[in-house]
Structure 1
Amino acid sequence: MLHERTLGRRGLKVAEIGLGTMGMTAFYGRGGSREEHLRVIRRAHELGVTLFDTAELYNRGNGANEVLLGEAVAPFRESVQLATKFGFTYDANGDSNGRDSSPSNIRRVTENSLRYLGTEVIDVLYQHRQDPAVPVEEVAGAVKELIEEGKVRYFGLSEVGPETLRRAHAVQPVSVVQTEYSLFERGVESEVLPAARELGIGFVPYSPLGRGFLTSAVKPAEQYEASDFRRHDARWQGENYRSNVSAVDRLTALAHDNGVTAAQLALAWLLAQGDDIVPIPGTRSVDRLEENISAAALSLTATELDLIDEIIPDGAVGARYTDEHLPTWV
């Protein structure tokens, strides 16, 4: 059974592992039917998951991801926390083509998300990415109004640096920061995570399994569908790919020695980094979901944690985004 963790000082309590739903409608090629996705979400709840993560960006222009999640959790809505995000503009195909965190767009997206999710309140509302045209103080002020109106409970930021975090927090207390964090991506450890802890802000790592690389079920970039994000991820390219496979092979061997999978070991490592951390691995498979949730039962010794750090000391080889999409932290 999953234990409860408190994300930050403002009372957001969730189970120690959440579920990300992005891959159910976007970014990772095609996989699974709508019925299978509903089954995964509902099975997650049966296993004790309470934090479910979605975003306007995942909707493909028609509300698909939020509608799916809202339908899935409707029978138990009051026992879970729903997180969604705003901050992009879209073309006619539903693909992102810019950013917009203006107060008017924040309100528009929030009203749409409430309708798509079939709920009266959004538990966590994130700014998905910083908008260089809108000061973060204006963003925080707009979310503050939505909180005061009872439409949102907690304010979150995604992919921000410590300065931006402090500026937003001064206007409306930030409850949680979401950024990529895993054995494969450790950039948050030097400044972002310490700043969040200083301010009493919880941390939600997305892609905690390195976009699937840490599951050992990987293949070179060119073997993925054209619509799959990993086809363009530098960690899947050429020599980078071969180096990363070698590291994961060593991690897998260590995992097998302990009777677990590499994915379980990677999630257990992440959970051991602090009780203010709640990863949100995404999956379209009930079997993979159950494997991920089982990682919470693992208790790693200091020796095991050191061995893991020796295998992957500085993250993966290769940038996690192309230059065009790499977030700039301030």
Structure 2
Amino acid sequence: MAAAPVSVPRIKLGSQGLEVSAQGLGCMGMSAYYGPPKPEPDMIKLIHHAVATGVTFLDTSDVYGPHTNEILLGKVFDVMLLNPKQALQGGVRGKVELATKFGVSLVDGKREVHGDPAYVRAACEGSLKRLGVDCVDLYYQHRIDKNVPIEVTVRGPSPFVSVCLVVGVLEMVAINMQMGELKKLVEEGKIKYIGLSEPSASTIRRAHAVHPITAVQLEWSLWTRDAEEDIIPTCRELGIGIVAYSPLGRGFLSSGTKLVDSLSEQDFRKHMPRFQPENLDKNAQIFEFVNTMAERKGCTPSQLALAWVHHQGNDVCPIPGTTKIENFNQNVGALSVKLTPDELAELESYAAASEVVGDRYPQMTYTWKDSETPSLSSWKAE
């Protein structure tokens, strides 16, 4: 098996100054969606171990729980005996880059998406309180509100805005433009950098035109590569970092059908198209190919799948989640797995788009394919 490196490298995420560990830790599954919440003391120990190892980029959201995942991280800072503000702003081993998200809420069991300025501020204030910090490093819009122009969410409306379309590119001339809530929150020191999760390429361009976007979070793995056509090139053109969530195919690239057999009724993966019986046999072949190559390389399939993501560029940071220290250590070991161009091509041939059966989400709602917002000129603030 590939041994975990002594230290975790650090990378520049985007072009606005944010530096993070080359691999992050997705915390969602500790509190929500992947079955019942895990024992809090165990999760605190895991996160503390991650930070001590050098994985300092922690990812959460106000909808995980909801709220309980942020509360968990707030308790982690207490256990670490660190001043949270100092931990976020500097230090060596104590440095933590904290990312959280807003925009998705559960109302009577139904998901709602919001991007209006009042909601943004209330969400941020709530997250800061639950996390027990004065500032978060990276604040994402978790899903795009299709009823609110992205410019309003990022920077804000103005009564003096003219918008014109030139060669298909939105150009904005704004006089006395009001600062939107995300921009205001940056100026107030409550957030350092702005990110988007699951935006389309055009949404990224529109948002970046009114305020620098530091990072885009999207699902990217061996078996989810549709963002490579347009979104990834757009991010690179604009100097925006890429944060890859579910880099292990929600665990499928770690253990294949064994994962599906072990899912509890509370695990939302049981309802995802790729995990359904009619798609499972075909998708299982992808795992078997990856597993065979991993054996040849002397690593685990998880490490091989993560190594593929790491080899996509130094502007990419995968954030695999786990609830076990053993699995965390294995994931960190992916940083020492080296792949040749031929091996990368071989891996990609196993998991070509034509070989993957089933969508990422049911109906593919609330993804970048369903994230276009109204034009700024059409916006009338209530």
- Decide: shared fold, TM above 0.5: yes
- Match of 2:124? 110
Matched residue, 2:103: 87
Following the alignment from structure 1 to structure 2, what is the Cα–Cα distance between the partners of residues 112 and 302?
46
> Percent identity of the aligned residues?
40
CA distance in 2 between counterparts of 1:291 and 1:183 reads 18
Structure 1 gaps, min length 5: none
Cα deviation per residue 1:92-142 (whole Å; 9 max; x = unaligned)?
5xx453111111111001001001111110111100101111110011012
After superposition, where does 1:161-172 map in structure 2 within 5 Å? 161-172=200-211
- Give the SS at the match of 2:182: helix
- Determine the C-alpha separation between the residues in 2 that align with 1:227 and 1:181: 24
Residue 13 (structure 2) aligns with: 7
Q: 1:239 is matched by which residue type in structure 2?
A: E
The question of whether the paired residues in 2 share the 8 Å contact of 1:2 and 1:16 is answered with: yes
Counterpart in the other structure of 2:140: 126
Is residue 166 of structure 2 the alignment partner of residue 136 of structure 1? no
The reply to whether residue 49 of structure 1 matches residue 63 of structure 2 is no
Q: Classify 1:54/1:312 alpha carbon distance in 2 versus 1 (closer, same or farther; 3 Å).
A: same
Q: Please list every run of at least 4 consecutive aligned residues from structure 1 whose deviation after the TM superposition is greater than 3 angstroms.
A: 217-223
Correspondence 1:40-79 to 2 at 5 A: 40-60=46-66, 63-74=67-78, 75=80, 76=82, 77=84, 78=87, 79=95
Q: Return the offset for 1:326.
A: 4.9
Q: 2:74, 2:131 within 8 Å by CA — same for their partners in 1?
A: yes
TM-score normalised by structure 2 residue count: 0.82
Aligned equivalents of 2:105, 2:304: Cα separation in 1: 38
Paired residue type of 2:8: L
TM-score with structure 1 setting the length = 0.95
User: 2:251 is matched with which residue: 212, 231, 234?
Assistant: 212
CA drift at 1:42: 0.8
What is the root-mean-square deviation of aligned Cα atoms in Å? 1.6
For the Cα contact (< 8 Å) 2:252–2:259, is it kept in 1? no
Alignment partners' CA distance in 1, 2:214 and 2:288: 37
Query: 3-state SS of the aligned residue for 1:59?
Result: coil
Structure 2 residue runs of 5 or longer lacking an equivalent are 1-6, 88-94, 156-180, 373-382
Match of 2:222 in 1: 183
* 8 Å Cα contact 2:200-2:371 kept in structure 1: yes
Match of 2:358 in 1: 318
Report 1:260-275 matches (<5 A): 260-275=299-314
1:31 CA drift (Å): 5.7
Q: Distance in 2 between matches of 1:102 and 1:224?
A: 36
1:226 counterpart (261, 265, 273): 265
